[in-house]
Amino acid sequence: GETKFNKDKILQGQGVDEPLSATGFRQADAAGVFLSNVKFTHAFSSDLLRAKQTAAGILGKNKFCKDLEIKYDTRLRERKYGVAEGKPLAELKAMAKKAGEQCPSFTPSGGETLDEVKERARDFFEFLCQLVFELEQKGPDMPGASSRSSGTSAEQFVFPWTDPCSEAEPSSESGGSSKILDANVLVVSHGAYMRNWFGYLVSDLNCALPANLTKSHLSTVSPNTGVSHFLVKLENGNLSKPEVACVCLNQDSHL
């Protein structure tokens, strides 16, 4: 969700831990209403305040998992911008120009390189895959397994996408969005971080994109509380080669 620093185009990174603005809280609530019929099995958030408040706002509007525990993970933090944190975005661009580089590849002193951000994203994604694999191994009746066997209807997993995103839904061969999933994970993070994560999914894991998206769309930063949806399939527990498909990227119809 939006913070005052977002609105004023000031870099927050990891060192400026601003709360949501009034607009940001409204955006989080709107995202929550948009996803209110989706039953999440897990929820993860960056441990920075703006992300924590956004995650709480989303689950607070959910019909099925208001009490789902949100786990905070430092791997989901925004990119660290070092000496540029707390300064206007224009100042970062001026630093980059002086160094003969361009944003976002430029790394200010004390900041993270894009490769370092990508490594954090890769580490967290592999953690999620391992989590889901272990969940599947437990079976639906074992403690800690998902609530698939407890009367969960398929409709609770259907995401409220509108055209053109619905065109990107999987074919009926794979069950589409009505399939009961092993896990349905909510992840709340930050714009620059997620842009790097999405780039990793496409460049390293050959993530399939819907027809209305091109790789150039991946370079754009999500709007505040933009929602993206990815399907991940682990064939025979093969954690090294997950099949990833993007259903929708930076969806903002709820705003």
Which segments are annotated as binding site for substrate? Answer: 50, 78-81
Beta strand 70-72 with 227-233: parallel, antiparallel or unpaired? unpaired
Pairwise CA distance, residues 11 & 107, whole Å:
13
Residues annotated as binding site?
Answer: 50, 78-81
CA dihedral 238, 243, 249, 254 (to 10 degrees): -70
Pairwise CA distance, residues 66 & 59, whole Å:
5
What DSSP string describes 114-166? HHHHHHHHHHHHHHHHHHHHHHHHH-TTSTTS-GGGTT--GGGG-----TTGG
Contact between residue 45 and residue 18 where contact means Cβ atoms under 8 Å apart: no
Residues 6 or more apart from 72 whose CB is under 8 A from it? Answer: 44, 45, 46, 47, 52
Q: Which of 136, 128, 151 is nearest to 64 (CA)?
A: 151
